[in-house]
Amino acid sequence: MGLENPQMPELEDQPEPEPLPPSRNQQPRAVYNAEGDARAALERYNQDFGDDASTDSSGYSSDGDQPRDLYEDQSVIKQRVTPGEGWETPKELCKCEVSYKVWSGTGVNMKTHTEETTCTLCIDEGQSPIGFFDDVLKTMRKKEVCDVVVKKGAEEGLPTDEDSTVRLTLLDFDKAPVSHEMADDTERLAHIQSLKDNGNNWFKKGDFQRAKRRYESAVYFGEYESDEVKASLTPLYGNLAAVASSMKDWPSCVEQCDKVLKKDADNVKALYRKGVALGKTKDFDEAISCLKKAVALDATNVASKRALRDVVAAKKTQQKQLKNTYGGMFSKLEGFASSNRPKEPRKIDDYDDLSDEDYDLAKPGANPLAPVDHQKGLKRAFFDISIDGISKGRILMELYDDTVPKTVNNFLAICNGYESLHYQGCSFHRVIKDFMIQGGDVTKGDGTGGASIYGGKFDDEAFIDTHNEPYLLSMANAGRHTNGSQFFITTVKCPHLDGKHVVFGRVVSGVDIVQAIESVDVDDSDKPLKACTITASGELPALTGDEDASDAP
């Protein structure tokens, strides 16, 4: 039975794949000869050229006689001894007949060797007597002979106390099937099925990397063929999604599921896998949408129901955590408490078994419509940032003066310096990974102060933009109409803040600096252990025309 119909794994019970050796499919680098000693040749090459970009050999052909550092770590170096015939080289799954023998030592120091051995193997099927054979054979031609110098301890079965030399001969090989040489689509479909069956076999053994390669080979073989052949690829996308899920590669899982759903919008397995993957990436709303549809299409599907329940529970857990974090996030603001913020009505989800009192963050705020189409020529501001006294560069911000001019004027005035209020010298006093970085306490510096140019606090101006993307600027407050100088920059989507905090701009360059601040270690109160300081701030000229908002001043 094909893998397109495997039993669905539970949300929390994805099998842990066994660790596999790193991929060794990088294009080897060419080096030159040094009197027959492959390692000496490579060392001389590196001494002469080092990392000089002019010596890059991307796309280097296997024609040359130069030694080649196969994995670019000097563990396996190949040097051709006798050229081969023709131009073709073996590919994945090609059956090869080879002979080899092993010496201890390298170059003139080679001694004792094993008897010559002849064997037959298929590339990338785990049949190679020595691990690197697959990768070396893919660079060889029929009848080619090469010496492979192996660093001591680099390969099992070879000496561990000194380097080894393996003389390898590719006696013959079966060419990989080529579509245009096949008689008809029946033959092409049979080849795709054989690759799929091979991948299924490796999947069942837990070798997800090999399974992935087989499925990808099948897709590559058929994606430009007839409609009948291309139609056979849809289950393979499902198999690739299953592999990605097993490897916990959630973005790839979503990508492959989307390919299935493009062809079959009601594919329950694809909806299930996509929902699980989206849940793992904390895109809970989309995950719930997919899983609800899967349950609606197949009410007997226990796995989908269980996954839906788990995702809803994970969403609630996150919301309660955010409430705990968020509930005290701005409560330090002098004279105000987060408890002043009135609760908002919330919709009880069909799969929601918590009471209304458990949390109040489920419903978005006053204006769920986004994004807003802002005018051109918006005002701009900048922060120059240092972390632990080391300059990190500039954060450039575009400000929404077309929708919240009062809020922007307050922010810009403090950027430029207004009476005793200035962001220069102010620190980001609270940092929460995967949420936000908060700063702007221009009076006390610890989150308990702040002021506005209007005297004291000022009202929430408008909730026009939503927190629908990361790297937005939003006003910190301690309840309704308590804005001052404190602000925060989001690092993820924060829909639970909509209608509670005024979004007044976005970061247009310097995201890496925001991420650097977000990554600083913090104490139990979320205070950074290294000072993250605004060393300079100010206003930049507004842009006119079609310039990019991130253009340097």
Per-residue pLDDT tens over the stretch 265-310: 999 999 999 999 999 988 999 999 999 999 999 988 899 999 999 9
Residues in Cβ contact with 302 at an 8 Å cutoff, skipping those fewer than 6 apart = none
Establish whether 214 is a catalytic residue.
no
Give residue 491's pLDDT. Answer: 93
Active-site hit among 39, 430, 496, 506: 430
Task: Identify the CATH number of the domain defined by range 379-540.
Answer: 2.40.100.10
Q: Which of 119, 116, 103, 123 is nearest to 38 (CA)?
A: 103
Tens digits of residue pLDDT in 431-440: 998 899 999 9
501 labelled catalytic: yes
Is residue 4 scored above 50 in pLDDT? no
Are the beta carbons of 498 and 490 closer than 8 angstroms? Answer: no
In the predicted structure, residue 33 carries a pLDDT above the cut 60: no
Q: Is residue 548 very low, low, confident or very high in pLDDT (cuts 50, 70, 90)?
A: low
Give residue 536's Cα distance to chain centre.
Answer: 33
Which among 435, 458, 463, 487 is annotated as catalytic?
A: 435
Give percent of the chain with pLDDT exceeding 70.
76
Radius of gyration of the chain (CA): 31
- Cα distance between residue 288 and residue 269, in whole Å: 15
Annotated catalytic residue within 382, 383, 458, 488: 488
Cα 275 to Cα 22: distance, rounded to the nearest angstrom: 29
Write the DSSP string, 456-511.
S-B------S---SSSEEEE--SSTT-B-S-EEEESS--GGGTTTS-EEEEEEE-H
pLDDT tier for residue 346 given thresholds of 50, 70 and 90: very low
Q: What is the CATH number of domain 179-315?
A: 1.25.40.10
| pLDDT tens-digit map of 110-159 | 666 778 899 999 999 999 888 889 999 999 999 999 999 888 877 777 76
pLDDT at 369: 44
Distances (CA, A) of 464 to 66, 78, 118, 371, 373: 65, 64, 74, 9, 11
Strands 95-104 and 111-113: what pairing? antiparallel
Cα 270 to Cα 280: distance, rounded to the nearest angstrom: 15
Residue extent(s) of CATH 1.25.40.10 domains in the chain: 179-315
3-state secondary structure 199-256: HHHHHHCCCHHHHHHHHHHHHHHHCCCCHHHHHCCHHHHHHHHHHHHHCCCHHHHHHH
Averaged pLDDT score across all residues of the chain: 80
pLDDT band for position 55 (cuts 50, 70, 90): very low
- Torsions phi, psi of 217, nearest 5? -65, -40
Residue of 79, 200, 239, 477 marked active site: 477
Q: What is the pLDDT of residue 94?
A: 93
Check residue 177 and give its pLDDT: 87
Q: Is 383 designated active site?
A: no
CA atoms within 13 A on the CB side of 235: 16
pLDDT value of residue 341: 39
Cβ count near 2 (within 10 Å): 14
Q: Where are the beta strands (DSSP E) in 114-163?
A: 117-122, 145-150
**Mean pLDDT of all residues in 346-367:** 34
Catalytic position from the list 497, 504, 506, 543: 497
Q: Is the dihedral of CA 117, 123, 129, 132 positive or negative?
A: positive
CA atoms of 109 and 316, how far apart (whole Å) = 68
pLDDT tens, residue by residue, 207-263: 999 999 999 999 998 888 899 999 999 999 999 999 999 999 999 999 999 999 999
- Is 488 considered catalytic here? yes
Question: What CATH class is the domain 29-173?
Answer: alpha beta
Residue ranges of the chain assigned to CATH 2.40.100.10: 379-540
Label residues 103-122 b or e (16+ Cβ within 10 Å = b): bbbbbeebeeeeeeeeeebb
% the chain with pLDDT above 90: 53
Could you read off the pLDDT of 16-28 as tens digits, one per residue? 444 444 444 433 3
Q: What's the CA gap between 347 and 356, in Å, rounded?
A: 9
Q: Is there a catalytic annotation at residue 477?
A: yes
Please give the DSSP secondary-structure letter assigned to residue 298. -
In sequence order, what are the residues at sequence separation of 6 or more whose Cβ sits closer than 8 angstroms to the Cβ of residue 352?
312, 316, 362
Q: Say if residues 39 and 77 touch (Cβ distance below 8 Å).
A: yes
| Inter-CA distances, 5 with 200, 258, 263, 295, 496, Å | 11, 17, 17, 17, 38
Q: Is 189 a catalytic residue?
A: no
**Residue 328 pLDDT class (50, 70, 90 cuts):** low
Q: Which has the closest alpha carbon to 194: 169, 170, 214, 175?
A: 214
Determine which one of 80, 374, 501, 506 is catalytic. 501
pLDDT of 470 higher than 90? yes
**What confidence category does residue 30 fall into, taking pLDDT thresholds of 50, 70 and 90?**
very low
Q: Is 435 a catalytic residue?
A: yes
Tell me which residue has tokens 């009948």. Answer: 228
Mean pLDDT of 325-336: 54
User: For residues 473 and 468, what is the distance between their CA atoms, to the nearest angstrom?
Assistant: 12
